[in-house]
Structure 1
């Protein structure tokens, strides 16, 4: 059971907190928090302690949540690697945000409550507990809804891309290229029409070539950047992921999911990923070839 749970935590998960999505999320949290606190009063409300109306107290609590979401996730955006984001990463980030909100709610107690025990450990733990109770409720509502939204959007776009993609039209012939590697004895010739994709493995590249109905793999000592620079005249060779360079003319099917897209290629059984950060560029490039 524990092994399965660890595997679950390592599952890829879409990172959707950047740009306007972060502001939308923060505004949504503010609105939900304001409505939940003011109309439902989920926790004990002892009005004689209030220094001003409960509406403004609810507003302060909601504003705390809004600012913590912007601050914590905004800082995370500076260091996040979207390709490595997992279910576990998502849970940790949400927990850190909730902890920050709980601490901020404790720090403003003296401003809104006339209670001599405002700075006690009891109220500190109470604010943390209350924040996690409400936060987990919001997460249970928002996370599945967003996951379904992303899945639906990518499935719909994938269907559109597949319907527009007519691979039988690609009959252009190319000259054989001489590819230079890090070792002269390892240099090789490449027929661009046969190129399926390249996968980075440290300082080596696995290069997959289409040979009739089969796929051949060659291993060369070179970086992805070195190969890209020698193939930059082919706009349909597209880096879908930091570890994959793909010939989009060989794509047989685009499959959509919450993370983005998976590509099925001719003569190759495995699916290739399109990283979350490359989704928009991939859609534009795929439509143009």
Structure 2
């Protein structure tokens, strides 16, 4: 059976993880320290002859837990400093590469601590270097996925599930009987206008006006029209791919490039603009349902 890797999934751009961001890095390091320290105390996984210990077991556990926590804080702290003025363009592949480098550094650090912890004449052998790196990878991968699953669980307990695998929807309006060009009636006849819905990214309410953000020829433009968002929404009711995601926003589901956030609210990204459109917390479930319905229609 051939070995298959979903390269597209690994290379899709995702949000830079909050756990590595400067404001959360100390907390993440503390979680890593506490998790490893408790694990070592409870399960005593060291396969070392006890008379070889230079320190008592509590201190050995402390140093083995403190070392990776310090490396995590230093490594991603340095990375954040280097990339502070750049877009991080994070992907799952980058995530796994950086985690692999972190585990390699942790294994080397454990090897360098052997003379401090163990009274063994072969502490500096290649065998122990290999064993320390191997053990860090085996235990580290286990802890990584355990902590990721725990994070997903606690996020899901806060509210509706997050759209973890968002795939942009394909625009199939040209294949339907409904025309993408629509004539919009306003309260003042001279302000009536024609709109190509295929160019529309999202609509923002501005009192009795709306701002239409459109994308054409790889350039986003904004137009102001004299009509309320509620009145505009009623006139495009025949187009189910337009969704009222917020009190002041209506979005074209076919134009969403990326979804970020959590169960407290999403942020939607669109092509050719840096603007982010919020999905309010009470609309998350409806947004997920709308997305799934449109996606199922495409698959059918």
CA contact (8 A) 1:194 1:210 kept: yes
Deviation at 1:40, TM superposition (A): 0.5
CA drift at 1:152:
5.9
1:218: which partner in 2? Answer: none
Relative to structure 1, is the Cα distance of residues 283 and 40 closer, same or farther in structure 2, using a 3 angstrom cutoff? farther
For residues 142 and 197 of structure 1, the distance between their equivalents in structure 2, rounded to whole angstroms, comes to 40
Task: Provide the residue aligned with 1:197 in structure 2.
Answer: 213
Residues of 1 paired with 2:99 and 2:276: CA distance?
29
Question: What does residue range 155-174 of structure 1 map to in structure 2 within 5 Å?
Answer: 155=160
Map Cα deviations across residues 243-276 of structure 1 (whole Å, 9 max, x no partner).
xxxxxxx97216xxxxxxxx98356632254666
Q: 1:275 to 1:129 in 2, by over 3 A?
A: same
Where does residue 178 of structure 2 map in the other structure?
none
Give the TM-score normalised by the residue count of structure 1: 0.59
Q: 1:200 to 1:115 in 2, by over 3 A?
A: farther
Match of 1:8 in 2: 9
Q: What does 1:1-289 align with in structure 2 at a 5 Å threshold?
A: 5-14=6-15, 15-16=17-18, 17-78=20-81, 79=83, 84-150=89-155, 155=160, 193=209, 195-197=211-213, 205-207=219-221, 252-253=244-245, 265-266=250-251, 269-271=254-256, 273=258
The 1:34/1:265 distance shift into structure 2, 3 A limit, reads same
Unaligned runs of 5+ in 2: 164-185, 192-205, 226-231, 237-241, 268-274, 282-300
Deviations 1:142-185 (A, max 9, x none): 11222344466584899xxxxxxxxxxxx999xx9xxxxxxxxx
8 Å CA contact 1:65, 1:101 repeated in 2 = yes
Shift of 1:43: 3.2
Task: Give the superposition deviation at 1:209.
Answer: 5.7
1: distance between equivalents of 2:8 and 2:278? 34
- Deviation track 1:3-25 (CA, whole Å, cap 9, x = no partner) reads 75211212344411213421111
Change (3 A) 1:172 1:135: farther
Provide the C-alpha distance between the structure 2 equivalents of 1:198 and 1:282, rounded to a whole number of angstroms.
14
Deviations 1:106-148 (A, max 9, x none): 1111111111111111111110011111111111211122234
In 2: Cα distance, 1:113 partner to 1:275 partner: 47
SS of the residue 1:207 aligns to: strand
Structure 1 residues 286 and 205, CA, compared in 2 at 3 Å: closer, same or farther? farther
* Greater RCO, 1 or 2 (C-alpha within 8 Å, sep 6+): 1
> Structure 2-normalised TM-score?
0.57
**Number of equivalences:** 211
Higher mean C-alpha deviation, range 114-123 or range 34-43: 34-43
For 1:148 and 1:199, how far apart are their aligned partners in 2? 38
Tell me, yes or no, if the aligned pair for 1:26 and 1:69 is still in contact at 8 Å: yes
Unpaired segments of 5 or more residues in structure 1?
Answer: 159-170, 177-191, 215-249, 255-262
State the distance in 2 between where 1:172 and 1:142 align. 55
CA-based RMSD of the aligned residues comes to 4.2
